[in-house]
A and B are shown apart, each in its own frame.
Chain A
């Protein structure tokens, strides 16, 4: 095993932090705390992008780090918080089925993602290639979170967490996507969150609740 440089070690620690935040989100009941965790995930993502930019001397990664900071640490959580206050669901909690089971499923997903990433990451040449497994598990855990949740708001948070995982995968495999695409995705997400916000009000007006299981019931009119 060759000795790792300090930057690589730091990146590994940040990747581990990302994974830990994903698990914390999976087990968190309160919507408010979930939004905080999402902001933290964005902050860790910013730090890892900055570090990758410094190690690989790629100036365009600095821009994408700045974009992440503004969008994912400040803007998105702020919009979600506002939405939550407007909807009056601040102290609301999302009933979850059996957290220990969910955690075990998550653990299985992590093993699966690590196994999947192993052959791919051996082909990459970036210094951050080892972290692909972590990025993929963040994506899969966000999927799991969207499946296990009932409420619309928490599902959107899961969606945003998934995007974080994809962004991390892009950074660690190919040093990020071209700037145009990154800007496009950022804008798409923003618009997506706005549209979701409108949907929340519509869903609540129709069903008096944000529980998506209500959508499954047939309604005659």
Chain B
């Protein structure tokens, strides 16, 4: 393990943690523009974080240690996930520990903890949000795995860095119809998993329609800041998984120089800007679904991913 790989690894995580709020701010800004509102500044999420970290945390009297440790666990899981995903460089010492299936497991761990913490206090909205979150999660997870299987089948590896290197090195521009299916399915899973509009509204103030917000109602101050930061980081991670699978151009390969790394960071920022704008457009043009329509939406995603597998097997044979 050389020093550059270590720097790339640590730098990648720090970059992810630092840029996740900016991405969230960018999406909010684009949405505001599309809705003819005055946009909040790009760094608004950072201001929110500063405000929250300065406040004193208020805890319910019957809060257990689980409730207090969950924000740290969730944030840690998301930072760990950022270490596995090749966002800037594929030379990741951490990525050898865990492949993409373990990555899905990491997301699941975070979800389980946040749902447990939501039920810990025993308020109605918390447990309702937890139940909904688990429902969405158990439908979204197989769809995500199927999307990943599409690329695993194509490249014969379950490690994301290998997938990226294979795409960039050997194939160049190759159109895979199965990747089109997987891409659409992935966008649907991304929307559902990150509490975005067709499934959940991130800016809602109506408790009855909440999923993610209902779960974190009881949190305040630094705990809330960490949870929010972790959810932005989750969006960032999903975006980076999407880039690794479907648009891996510009990611620095093994044994790349420092200049190449800098170039990769610029590429990443450009891709995130485009992805954030597209996300804002999707959120603006679509209406929130009723919660009972969520299984339909996600089974559609699952189905598209399976179709991708089938199309690959048929057209390549």
Contact = CB atoms under 8 A, between A and B. Distances in A.
A17 to B, nearest CB: 7
A100 B314 contact: no
Interface in A89-122: 99-100, 103-104, 106-107, 110-111, 114, 117-118
Interface of A: 1, 6, 9-10, 12-13, 15-17, 19-20, 23, 27, 99-100, 103-104, 106-107, 110-111, 114, 117-118, 130-131, 133-134
A131 B304 CA distance: 18
B295 A10 contact: no
Interface of B: 174-178, 180-181, 184, 295-296, 299-300, 303-304, 306-307, 310-311, 313-317
Contacts of A107: 303, 306-307, 310
A130 B315 contact: yes
Contacts of A15: 177, 315
A130 B314 contact: yes
For B176, B184, B296, B316, which residue has the most chain A Cβ atoms within 10 angstroms? B296
A13 B175 contact: yes
Given A1-B316, A9-B175, A20-B181, A27 B311 contact: no
B311 A19 contact: yes
Nearest to B298: A100
Contact of B303 (A6, A10, A16, A104): A104
A23 B307 contact: yes
Q: Which 6 A-B pairs have the closest CB atoms?
A: A16-B177, A100-B299, A9-B175, A12-B177, A103-B303, A99-B296
A100 B307 contact: no
Given A20-B181, A23-B304, A100-B295, A111 B174 contact: no
Contact of B180 (A17, A114, A133): A17
A100 B177 contact: no
